[in-house]
Amino acid sequence: MRIYLASRSPRRRELLHQIGIDFDTVVFRDGKRADSETDETPLVGEAPVDYVERVARAKAVHGQRIVKERRLPMRPVLSADTTLELDGEIIGKPVDRADAAAILRRLSGRTHRVLTGVAVDHQGRSEYVLSTSEVTFREIDDGEIRQYVMSGEPMDKAGAYGIQGRAGMFVAHLAGSYTGVMGLPVCETGELLKRLGFRPL
């Protein structure tokens, strides 16, 4: 079994390897030349659960389009999107260090939801699954926030933290999927691929 992964995330790559899935990577352009089809800007009034589904599905569909344009072997394209929800608000990746620090101050001592949507596009068929987890942070002081932000770890991560890294020491409680919070819920991903007739194990 071999698929395409439409993601740059090293964490998603690691998790797919963990469950024995071989893959090639489909990379989207970013920065000023970013593909408009995979724009992660939330729509006005868009609910967090709708946002992650829209973005995850769009990445899978666009990834499949790239596969066809490059005349690559036809295989399933898997994509994912992760966001945080706090007080009904979508919290994505920080724009700079000051934003990362502000996000972490908001999360300190509180419970937030982590939503990871996973989509697969294959042979004109699209499948989707949502992983929802609740994460509670202990109180984090300004010194800890400053040190963590200076490490650079928060900068490419939704909610300005990576649970598998240094921020693991901020997590007082987790209800849900640890790998979902990392960015790819392996249980749900395996079930999703089984729907398309692929068995990872």
For the annotated catalytic residues, the residue numbers are: 81
- The answer to whether the Cα torsion of 179, 177, 81, 66 is positive or negative is positive
Tokens 């469950």 correspond to 19
Can you state the percent helix, strand and coil of the chain, rounding each to 5? 40, 25, 35
Quote the CA–CA distance of 19 and 35 in Å, as a whole number. Answer: 30
**Interstrand relation of 2-5 and 22-25 (parallel, antiparallel or unpaired):** parallel
CB atoms within 10 A of CB 129: 19
> Which distant-in-sequence residues (6+ apart) come within 8 Å of 32 by Cβ?
none
Tokens 């995850």 correspond to 56
**Interstrand relation of 125-137 and 89-91 (parallel, antiparallel or unpaired):** unpaired
